[in-house]
Amino acid sequence: MHDDKVLSAASRGQRRNATARLREILTRRVWLPTFVYEALPYLYILCGIVALVSAIYARDWTWILPWAILIGLICLHTGLALAALRYRVRRRSPPPERE
């Protein structure tokens, strides 16, 4: 009986460590080159349009149509939301000075 308590406490500690590690990985800042950062909204929009167009023209692959439509709408929404957010932020604050 005592061994069960020790094992469960050890597994809880491992679970906490794994959760903390996952949280650290998911919230880590990612530094992208400027041209990639600036192109992200347009890439998302392009991927969304390509996925929606492929859903229109995929005749025999009926199993992939809902996935293509879902991915297309998600990418379009993400790209437009990201572009709108950047537009609002840049409109409010002046651009940083470059050296």
Residues 42 and 92: their CA atoms lie apart, in Å, by 22
pLDDT tens track for 10-20: 566 666 788 88
The model's pTM is 0.65
Dump pLDDT digits (tens) for 40-87. Answer: 999 999 999 999 999 888 888 788 899 999 999 999 999 999 999 999
Residue 76 in contact with residue 52, Cβ under 8 Å?
A: yes
Instruction: Report the 10 Å Cβ neighbour count for 51.
Output: 19
For 33-48, what is each residue's pLDDT tens digit? 999 999 999 999 999 9
Instruction: Report the alpha-carbon distance of residue 53 to residue 39 in Å, rounded.
Output: 21
Residues 29, 32, 35: CA angle, nearest 5 degrees: 150
Mapping DSSP to helix (H, G, I), strand (E, B) and coil, where does residue 94 land?
Answer: coil
